[in-house]
Structure formats: structure tokens, C-alpha cells
Structure 1
Amino acid sequence: MFESLKKKIGKFKKSVDEIIRTQEKEEEKITTKEITPKKTLSKKPVKDIKAKDKIKSIIVNQEVIINEKSIEKPLWELEMALLESDVAMDVAEEIINTIQTDLIGTKRKVRKKSENIVEEALEDALLKVVSVNPLDFDKVINAAEKPVHIAFIGVNGTGKTTTIAKIADRLKKQNHSVVIAAADTFRAGAIDQIEHHAKKLGIKIIKHQQGADPAAVAYDSVEYAKARHIDVVLTDTAGRMHTNTNLMDQLKKICRITPPNLIIFVDEAIAGNDAVERATLFNKTVPFDGSILTKIDADAKGGAAISIAHATSKPILFLGTGQEYTDLEKFNPDWLIKRLLTT
């Protein structure tokens, strides 16, 4: 997971650490030269020992100041590495600017671990872009008036239907009753696909025939949930591109007739910057509340995971880590950053 980007971040850490260590050695040479007493015939051994102790004391308390020029090349290389890893350009720039702010002008005592300073700057920069408007999915479900209506949006082939099944399984294990609305009436086989998951999970599904009005399916599902005191309605919608006016109008109609408590955008992490661009465009047309990234276990670059929250100003809610229903991790920014910084 994120192996490619981890190596590039590790290279940056090593480069800056070496630069700081070189500065330390230069400072020590200058300090020793300035303070070492000139040898004279009358010099006493005791005074010589005191002079050496004084030099050690000053070197230990000496401070190295990290300047812009010294880390200019490693920062440029890191920015290129981020872009090569499908991190969005504005996100890469934000990360570099934060690292610059944290490192440049930093005063650090000589012989204090330089790795800590570099790692702290990286943590700060990454946390800033991935921790956006946090939203606790479980708290929303527990606090909202029932039934809670959740609509899932995104393009075909990104794992949206499987993700709905994973969420359904998770909710069921938390003792929430669930019904699934098969509102993707556009794609051939979509109803059968979601019905297959519903049967495996023992969850009721509301469906109409292919080509039916998706808004009617969502409406019937919510009404079914109200009548039977079901906690959560999960609505599957047709995978669509933002440029497909008819399908986008259908999505808007669903949201107008049965307003969701949450709209969740689903895309695959391995799509990288394409996923971020799609999320940005969807968010402009049908503003969503958060995103779920699938196939994170197969993502070597990590670009989408780093960029999507910052690009949309909407938080990542979950990460899909495999094909099993249990392969769904609640998103934790610290978990992501630890994976990126641990070599």
C-alpha cells in the first residue's frame, strides 16, 4: 500500500536530514575554531581541560538555522514526486508550502535528532490536507431521525455497489435495520447485482423494473422504511459521468423527492487524479457529504487518498481494503499518515 510514494517521501526525509547534518558539522568547525585557545608555553593543563569543556557546552547548545536555499532542491524533488504519484497540483503545492513554513528558519540544537524535525513537518503538511471537515458516519446514523436515507453516487466500475453492501453489513452488525433501494435502473444487470448482495446479507431490497424512474424507487424505499420502522435506507444510483445530463437530472430528482441525510461519493483509489477530478465535478453538480475510496489495498501511489478531501472540502469516510464485506476501514487521518511515513 502506497509503496511508490512512501519511497519518495523517505528519499526526501533522508536528503533533508543529510543537509542538516552537514550544516551541523560546519557549525561545529566554526565554533571549535573560534573558541579553541591559542597554545602558549605558559598554558596549564587545567585551563586546557576547562576550555575543552566550554567548547563541548557551546556546541551542544549551538543552534542550526535551516535556510530556504539549503532545502530548495529536496523540496522541488518532493513536489515532482507528489505529482508523479497523482497528487493534485494544488494539493502538492499546499503540502510543499506547509513544509517550507515549518522548516525554513527553524532553529534546532546541534546533535538533536534532525529526523524528528523533518518528520514532524511532513506530518503537519499531510494532516492539513487530509483532515478536512471531519464527519463521523456512526454519529450521524445514531443521531438522525429514522429512517436515515443515504444515497451513493459515482461512476460505474469503481466498486460502488460492493461498497453499499459493505456499509449494509456494517450497519446490520451495529444492530441497525437496513433496506436497499435498487435505484440504478439504467445499467443492465445493476438490479441483479445489488439484489445478489442483499440476499447474501439477508437484507430487504426495493426494486422496480429496468428503465423505471429511479426517484420512484427511492421514494418507495423510504416509505417502506417509515412504515416498518427501519433505521437506514441505502440508495444505489446509476453510475454516471457529470456530463450525462439525463442521469444527473435523475440524481437531482432523487435528492429533491427524498432528500438524503447523506450523499456519499464512491471512487477507486487506484484511479488517482482522475478520481479527484471526478469528485470535484460531481461535488459541483450534486454536492456530497463525504467520500469512500475503494481498492486502497492496491494503490501504490496514494494520490487520491491525499488529494480528494482537500480538493472537495469533504472528508473521506471509509476506505475499501478488499473484496470481503468486512474489508471496510473507517477513515483515520493518522492511520493514513503513518502508512505514508513508515518505511
Structure 2
Amino acid sequence: MVFEGLSEKLQDTFKKLRGKGKLTEKDIKEATREIKLALLEADVNFKVVKKFVNSINERAMGSEVLKSLTPGQQVIKIVNDELTQLLGGEPFKLKYSPKGMTSIMLVGLQGAGKTTTAGKLAAYMKKDGKKVLLVACDVYRPAAIKQLQVIGKQLETHVYADESAKDPVKIAADALKYAREYLFDTVIFDTAGRLQIDEKLMDELVDIKKTVEPDHVVLNIDSMTGQEAVNVAETFNEKIDITGVILTKLDGDTRGGAALSVASVTGKPILFAGMGEKLTDLEVFYPDRMASRILGMGDVLSLIEKAQTDFDEEKAIELQEKIRKQTFTLEDFKNQLIQMKSMGSFKDILNMMPGGNKKALKGLDFDEKEFSRSEAIINSMTPEERINPGIINANRRKRIAAGSGTRVQDVNKLLKGFEQSKKMMKQFSGLNNKKHGRMKFPFM
């Protein structure tokens, strides 16, 4: 998880502050020094760190902290407020053009994952009911056009590509004309990656922008590039005036300095965060929620939204009814495992929960393959066995293990887990009906 190291160091600092009934100026100076070091180690730009720490110092030395009955909590609140501002303050959502068609020009370095991000943007906009056209403007990278076509096929989204053309400016202009002719709502121009020091290629971007006059120019940045991300963002912004930034690989093991620096340095918002490899792994960037995650306070709103997106409400209601009537089967169990898997990594989910002990979680081994193994075991059962697992004797267990490529012990473990889940869900459902009436739970 991005910011993991930074999050741990900040939480250690806050732990010391919470343990004191009263804070002195010396305590605050020591805390801000530790915050400064933590940010620098996370690869945050030095100028950004200096400004950030000065703001915290200025507020923390005031009477709201020194005379407070809960000074530690007041300092944490100040850091949370300042961190939210550093990340951009208010969330900025990409607006669709009132003119009828929205055009987005995606730019960035080579290897920053622009083509995949173009697909993620298309998937995000399709959820809004938009008819999206992806435009292949990268004529330099081998197989770039083919990659976009494969993504387009996966999304069932049209891709405009002219493999014989060598002029990206002409391709963009022709694509825009095509989009208007066939009444597309949104056009995403996937431009070639380029170094910000390559004047010729940067000028080409300027020409594309002049030709198609996009509603948004979005810079794609790999969050693992660290300090260099700041230089990239500054140069692209000066040259073509970007609308905002998409940060990719925020689910990776990276220090996160790019995310904490880019918005502050450019004055342009972070629009989205790429949180995985799937085309659906693109989240609207909320500065306050990200600040909350970094400070170990969790991100309940994003967790709820994720559950609402990934869980089928009708199936959830149907499942709850089955649990109530005690007709919950292994097939239902398998469907729940599939929906849980669609939410992503357990570590990421737990990181969204407030009050979690991140150090303790770090030591736990979450076997993500367990989902696939359980699914394979259930698939190896007959329909009768899935409905009535009580008939699964020793011989059947051997057959199921052989058919799923697992061991008999794995089959036993699954069946035991299923029975325990049934008991737990039955108790939970009964308690819920008795005390609160019928409620809808995404996991039930």
C-alpha cells in the first residue's frame, strides 16, 4: 500500500503526543521535526515539506493546542487539515462538456501506463452512460495501437486507429471529425509518451491541443517515479496547461511522494487514482479521504462505495432470505467468495477501516489464492453435493480434490469453513431481524 512507511511514522509520532496530558512548545517542535523527516523519507518535494511543516507549526503553537484539554488530538486534526489541503483540498470531478461532446487529451511520460489509463477512463465514463471513442495517437511505440484495440474490445468500446498514418495531429483531427459524425459523447486521445525535455515531441502535443481544443488535458503520472514526478508535472503544465493529474500504481509498494507533491507544485488537482491492474481499478481522488488513510483513520466512505459498486443488491437480498430460511448452499457460498474477490485485496480493504493496527496487519499472511482454490473445489462438486454437503463422504472428498487439483485437506477445510459461515450468518441474521428489522448488508 502506498504511504505505508509514511503512515507508520506519523502514527508513531501521534502516539507520543496522545500520551501527554499537556504539550509544550518543545513537544510540538519535536513532533513537527519527526513529521518533516517522515515526509522527506517518503520522497516529498523539499519545498512542499517546508511549507507544510511551517503551516503546522504556526497553527500548533497557538492557544487552540497549548491550552486544549486534548492537545494531542488537536495536533492530529491540524495535520489532517493541512494534509488534505496539500493533496488538493476539495475533490475535483472531471466535468462533461455542456456542448454535447467531451474531449480528453491524455499525456505523460513513456511507460507511465497511459494506454491502460485511457481504457480505465473509458470504463469509468461508460458507467455514466457515455458513448466513448478511444483514439490511438501513438504512432511511435510498437504495438501501441494494437494494445488500445485489445482494451477497446474488452470494454466493447470503439477505437479510432489509422495504422497507415504517421502524423498524430492529423489522426487526432480526423478522429474528432469521426466522433462528431457518429455522435460520440466522449473522445479520449491516447497520445505517445515523451520525455518532458524532448522539445520536438512536446511541441507536437501543443499542436494536437491547438487542433482538437480538448475540454481536458490530463497528465498521467506513475506514482513510483518519486521526485521526478514533480519535474514532469511542472514542465507539462508550463508547456500545455494541464487540467489535472491521474496518479497510477497507488496500490503499489511506493513512498508516495509524488501524490503529496504534484497538486501543491502545479496548483492542479489530482483527478483519479489508479488502484490496480483491472480496467475498473480507477477511483475518484478525494484529498480528505486519502489524508485520513495516511493518518490511520481509515476511509469508510470509499469502502462503502466499493461495496455498493461490487455487490449486486438483488443478490444480497436474495441471499439474506436464504440465510433466514436456512437454505444457504455451497453455490451461494461460492458466489459470495466471487463478490468478495471482486472488491480487491483484503489488505486494501482493511486499510480503509478506521482504527486498524497497520503494524499487526503487516505481519499477517493474506492468501489471495484461497478464493480461487475454494471456487475450484466447489466447481468440482455435483449439483446435489452443493445443495446437500452432508452427503460428501471420504470417497467423494477424494474425487472432488482430484477434480479441483487440490488435497483432501483443502476440501475438508472448505466444508468446515462453510458450516462455520452458515452458523455465524444465521446468528447474525437472527439478531439483526430481532433488534433492527430487516437490514441489507452487502456481505449477506
1:122 aligns with 2:84: no
CA contact (8 A) 2:93 2:284 kept: no
**1:163 equivalent among 117, 122, 130:** 117
In structure 2, what residue type is equivalent to 1:325?
A: L
Q: Distance in 2 between matches of 1:240 and 1:4?
A: 31
**2:241 equivalent among 287, 290, 304:** 287
C-alpha spacing 1:77/1:227, structure 2 compared with 1 (3 Å):
same
Q: What is the aligned-residue RMSD (CA, Å)?
A: 1.9
Q: Distance in 1 between matches of 2:46 and 2:68?
A: 36
CA contact (8 A) 2:104 2:216 kept: yes
**What's the TM-score, normalizing by structure 1?**
0.81
Structure 2 equivalent of residue 28 of structure 1 = none
In structure 1, what residue type is equivalent to 2:150?
A: H
Q: Distance in 1 between matches of 2:15 and 2:164?
A: 57
Structure 1 equivalent of residue 291 of structure 2 = 337
In structure 1, what residue type is equivalent to 2:83?
A: L
Post-superposition offset of 1:73: 2.7
Structure 2 equivalent of residue 81 of structure 1 = 38
> Relative contact order: is structure 1 or structure 2 higher (C-alpha 8 Å, sep ≥ 6)?
1
- Identity score, percent: 33
**2:277 equivalent among 323, 326, 333:** 323
Describe the SS at the equivalent of 2:247: strand
Q: Distance in 1 between matches of 2:114 and 2:179?
A: 22
In structure 2, what residue type is equivalent to 1:174?
A: D
Flag structure 2 segments of 5+ consecutive residues without an equivalent.
Answer: 297-357, 359-444
1:175 aligns with 2:120: no
Q: Distance in 1 between matches of 2:152 and 2:122?
A: 9
Post-superposition offset of 1:279: 0.9
CA contact (8 A) 1:98 1:121 kept: no
Structure 1 equivalent of residue 51 of structure 2 = 94
Structure 2 equivalent of residue 38 of structure 1 = none
In structure 1, what residue type is equivalent to 2:245?
A: S
Which has more strand, going by share of residues? 1
Q: Distance in 2 between matches of 1:330 and 1:303?
A: 19
Q: Distance in 1 between matches of 2:265 and 2:176?
A: 32
Structure 2 equivalent of residue 272 of structure 1 = 226
**1:105 equivalent among 62, 67, 70:** 62
**What's the TM-score, normalizing by structure 2?**
0.63
Post-superposition offset of 1:132: 5.1
Q: Distance in 2 between matches of 1:132 and 1:251?
A: 29
Post-superposition offset of 1:16: 3.4
Structure 1 equivalent of residue 216 of structure 2 = 262
CA contact (8 A) 1:129 1:306 kept: yes
CA contact (8 A) 2:247 2:274 kept: yes
Structure 2 equivalent of residue 306 of structure 1 = 260
Q: Distance in 2 between matches of 1:268 and 1:318?
A: 12
Describe the SS at the equivalent of 1:78: helix
Flag structure 1 segments of 5+ consecutive residues without an equivalent.
Answer: 25-63
Post-superposition offset of 1:74: 2.6
Describe the SS at the equivalent of 2:251: helix
Structure 1 equivalent of residue 16 of structure 2 = 15
C-alpha spacing 1:17/1:132, structure 2 compared with 1 (3 Å):
closer
C-alpha spacing 1:108/1:87, structure 2 compared with 1 (3 Å):
closer
Structure 1 moving runs of 4+ over 6 Å: none
1:237 aligns with 2:191: yes
- Between the two proteins, the alignment pairs up a number of residues equal to 296
1:195 aligns with 2:195: no
Structure 2 equivalent of residue 6 of structure 1 = 7
CA contact (8 A) 2:172 2:189 kept: yes
Structure 1 residues 207-216 or 248-257, which shifts more?
207-216
1:151 aligns with 2:105: yes
CA contact (8 A) 1:268 1:275 kept: yes
C-alpha spacing 1:105/1:184, structure 2 compared with 1 (3 Å):
same
